[in-house]
Chains A and B, each alone.
Chain A
Amino acid sequence: MYPAPFEYFAPRSLDEAISLLEKYKEDAKIIAGGQSLVILMKHRLARPKYLIDLNRIPGLEYVIEGDEGIRIGAMTRMNDIAENEIIKKFYSIIYDAAINIADSLVRNMGTIGGNLCHGDPASDMPAAMIALNAIYTVRGPKGERKIKAEDFYIDTFQTALEPDEILTEIFIPKPEPKHGSAYEKIKRRVGDFAIAAVGASISVDENLRIKKIGIALTSLGPKVLKVDASELIGSIANEETFEKAGELAYKTAKPSSDIRGPAEYKKDMAKVLTIRALNLSLKRILGK
């Protein structure tokens, strides 16, 4: 309950934050919402010598809809994301994932950037981003670069982010007119990490043939896992196709047994939840 000592910086610009990261490297950690980091620090599992607070940097909290798609500032609070009407309507998977993260109090501080960069296989948002083909913008001393969400996650607590880089924005391409998405999570109780969770996104044509499909798995491996469902493109979105998608998810899942359940159960749930997420996505398309 008592963190180790550290020096604190509250930079007023991204450049300032980045040069601090450049200076202090592995001894520094950025704090966004802090909802994961502060817990680690209270248990002294994380003991950065320098804490760089991003909360005073203006211009990082926004949800902007454009012709190409939606841009979300990395410091946008999870509750603001959950309450955004555009997101709820057109990017439902993000809404589903957001309301499944912790509780409303944690979501008042927690940021989407934090949830995406922590690299925890149990973080809910990464699967939503992968399913939607999101692109992250990160900035470092050498400038800006763009990384696809599906390329961002390397291993447990390991992402493509360099120690001196900061995630600034998430871009999600505008979905097709007939698009639906959903996030299905089973957990021991509200606020808990997933026993297993699946995010799915599909676009179909007027005949319900699948044009695009994205599926990703939470808490089902050492990192968030993308399911390669490209072979289902062109198939009709129906029970049989979704069953196949479930099988693909089952094959992709690599869960381990822990206090939240045995690996065999989680693997089976990868399939069940994939089918449920696809069914709900389709329902949302047809409901429109």
Chain B
Amino acid sequence: MSTQKVIHGIGHAVKRKEDPRFITGNGRYLDDIKLPGMLYLAFVRSPYAHAKIKSINVEKAKNMPGVVAVITGKDLQALNLAWMPTLANDKQMVLPVDKVVYQSQAVVAVVAEDPYLAKDAAEAVEVEYEPLPAVVDPRKALEKGAPIIREDKGTNHVLHWEAGNKEEVEKLFKEADIVVRQEFYYPRIHVAYMEPCGVIAHYDRIAGKLTVYMTTQAPHAVRTVISLVTGMPENNIRIISPDIGGGFGGKVYVYPEYVVAIVASIMTGRPVKYVFSRSEDMQTTAFARDFYITGELAAKKDGKVLALRVKVIADHGAFQGDANPSKFPYGLFTIVTGAYDFKAAFVEIDGAYTNKPPGGIAYRCSFRVTEAAYTIERLMDILAHELKMDPAELRLKNFIPSNKFPYKSALGWEYDSGNYEAALRKAMELINYEELRKEQEEKRKKGELMGIGISSFVEIVGAGPSHIFDILGIKMFESCEIRIHPTGAVIARFGTRAQGQGHETTFAQVIADELGIPIEKITVEEGDTDTCPYGLGTYASRSTPTAGAAAAVAARKIKEKARKIAAHLLEVREEDLEWERGRFYVKGVPSKFKTIEEIAFAAYTNPPPGLEPGLEAVAYYNPPNMTFPFGSYICVVDIDKQTGIPKVRKFVAVDDCGVRINPLIVEGQIHGALAMGFGTAFLEQIIYDENGNNLTGNFADYTIPTAVETPKWITDQTVTPSPHHPLGAKGVGESATVGSPAAFVNAVVDALAHLGVRHIDMPLYPWKIYKILKEKGVIK
């Protein structure tokens, strides 16, 4: 790393540029924004999961103090807006006309002068429901005779999707010495970012312009969708994504409440704000996971894996709203072959509608990679236990060797680079694996329960190459526009939108590294569709792979022009110049140079003849491939035999995301994602009863980890650059949420494996473990 300290280019753990406003309480989150004349929305929400709407009476509400308007589904229907398209080519109710399809669904909107009055009036709305039987289990939803939720579809079956080679897999299964089969449930969870979702819609009647402040991770895509749905020209729509308090995929969606706010603003001519309460957010915004998985793995008796077959039933909720790239209705689940050299694999997924809110893609899932990594890493451990082989040994035996990259997987992905063995060995060394296994032996003799769980995951991020990726037809490139001012300062704008990932610092570091300008002189902006170039936003760990690349490409375009200017200033040919971060100098004559600052000034004061003045560039980066970060995690767990309470004693995480732009920020991402994996494994589940009532719909009942439960993480790295990325970097934001749940579950199951336990579904509540201990006679 040869960057001068003062520039803070790639590799520096420099403190973040965006922090001053956050640490002083001057962040500008959606709810902080106040516009003159602003009105507030409150929603009447359905108590039932499934019910006909018999009548709605808004007369009392309309006449309450401070009420400006009341909007029902019928009002929207008259504007052809009672339904809206989803990101998955389905449609979704904005406000219902005939029936409600999930508990807490928004039914009627009240627009009032202040949120207290809006809530008072919402209470005065009278809705008469006729409850219908609720469908809560997607497997039951697919059975004959199940109540139909979507009359417009006539079926509860959303779709059937397949990938891979069914016949080849069947053949290999017949040849196999051993087949392990396991059912897993990946529970429905909610990412519970600290800032609830919100919107302020402002339709300016005079200018004919709609400005929408929105907690969104993808402002440009939202703008285009609004234009297509409303017919308003895109130049008259501005989406502003202000500071966002955590997104993690849950803020990619356009929620019905946002559309209602837009309609209300158009109706009243005034800005209209709506911020979800935490309960409303927990109960209606995008859920994550909810996959019923059956995994089968065929192998030889020496442990060499042959084939993989996975069947999934997916719970979509009442609408298919998954925010997936259009050709991948089940995201990148096909990464399920993981780090291992499978000869063949086959996946089939069936989706079902249920009486729950839509979503599916959220909570750092990387487009369903969380579900895939969990499946394969659990199966590998089950195979290891079945063969009485050490789980680390089994993995080492089956890893794709480091000299086989780029590697084409059985399900069609070309992995760019990887060294899975190095990561696992490093993790084993850090945690003293051999000693731990010895300790486990000793403890078992004494009847103590200790488990070690490994997860060696492969991630796939950076959506994505044009020939396979698009969202609603829009290709998933990413953009960066850089302009250098006369005095050598920079403004760079991107189509991404950070929600805590530190882009204002990391992208500045990329540009600093390319151009030799210190990061203090580089401003990075995101989130305003009027000024930022078109991009697909920040989610699925795509920003460094795509926007980071775009920044490098744009900076290199600028460097090319800078070379021309330098040649002109130094009166030499372009080929005679050498670049050293921050300046061009004449080959062999280092005392003859021009700094980038001098070049920038010259771009405006003394440009070469025939060359346009100014110094800027735009890059729309179409990634040639995805990037494939990976890692190995090892978890040690002790179980209290009396209560079944599991405790994580130690957790080592070795991550490889290629080149790290800012090591401090990368570490922070990993820590946070590990905590989410921990919550997933031990604490979190959205629980519905058989009538579709959400039993965990607030922060008291849905338990995300606090600082007390969250273990201390030991993190380390290997570095295997991406060969196709301009910086050699891969994404990393979601790796730990992808990889860690299996490590936790593998550890707990490993603690009980000698009793014959094969699997326990998440979340690993103490009473689940206790029940097993009782059944196995460990507790009398």
Contact = CB atoms under 8 A, between A and B. Distances in A.
Interface string B265-302: 00000000000010100000000000000000000000
B708 interface: yes
Nearest to A188: B703
A258 B687 CA distance: 11
Contact of A189 (B642, B643, B708): B708
B770 interface: yes
Interface size class of chain A, counting residues whose CB lies under 8 Å from the partner chain = 20 to 34
Contacts of B120: 2, 4-5
Contacts of A191: 706
B706 A2 contact: no
Contacts of B701: 259
Interface string A96-126: 0000000100000000000000000000000
A245 B771 CA distance: 23
Interface string B81-111: 0000000000000000000000000000000
B709 A190 contact: yes
Given A191-B706, A265-B771, A43 B279 contact: yes
Given A2-B119, A43-B279, A189-B709, A265 B683 contact: no
A185 to B, nearest CB: 11
A78 interface: no
Given A186-B645, A189-B705, A192-B703, A2 B683 contact: no
A264 to B, nearest CB: 8
B115 interface: yes
Nearest to A102: B700
A259 B695 contact: yes
Interface in A155-186: 186
B708 A190 contact: yes
A258 B123 CA distance: 29
Interface string A178-214: 0000000010111110010000000000000000000
Interface in B668-683: 683
B212 to A, nearest CB: 23
Interface of B is mostly: loop
B706 A272 contact: no
Interface in B616-673: 642-645
A262 interface: yes
Interface string B681-695: 001000100000001
A265 B770 contact: yes
Nearest to A186: B643
A269 B770 CA distance: 10
Given A190-B708, A191-B706, A272-B643, A261 B687 contact: no
Interface residues of B, number: 28
B604 interface: no
A189 B116 CA distance: 33
A268 interface: yes
A259 B279 CA distance: 17
B766 interface: yes
Contacts of B709: 189-190
Contacts of A39: 700
A44 B644 CA distance: 38
Interface string A63-105: 0000000000000000000000000000000000000000100
Contacts of A269: 643
A190 B643 CA distance: 17
A34 to B, nearest CB: 16
B703 A189 contact: yes
Contacts of A272: 642-643
Contacts of B642: 272
A60 B132 CA distance: 53
A138 B758 CA distance: 57
Nearest to B763: A188
B416 to A, nearest CB: 39
B405 interface: no
B703 A1 contact: no
A103 B116 CA distance: 28
B767 interface: yes
A268 B123 CA distance: 43
B643 A259 contact: no
A186 B770 CA distance: 13
Nearest to B644: A265
Given A43-B279, A189-B709, A269-B643, A261 B119 contact: no
Nearest to A39: B700
Contacts of B224: none
B765 interface: yes
Nearest to B115: A2
B123 A188 contact: no
15 contacts: A1-B115, A1-B277, A186-B766, A189-B683, A189-B705, A189-B709, A191-B706, A192-B700, A195-B766, A195-B767, A259-B695, A265-B767, A268-B774, A272-B642, A272-B643
Shortest 7 CB-CB contacts between residues of A and residues of B: A265-B767, A2-B119, A190-B708, A261-B767, A1-B277, A2-B116, A189-B703
Interface of A: 1-2, 4-5, 39, 43-44, 103, 186, 188-192, 195, 258-259, 261-262, 265, 268-269, 272
Interface of B: 115-116, 119-120, 123, 277, 279, 642-645, 683, 687, 695-696, 700-701, 703, 705-706, 708-709, 765-767, 770-771, 774
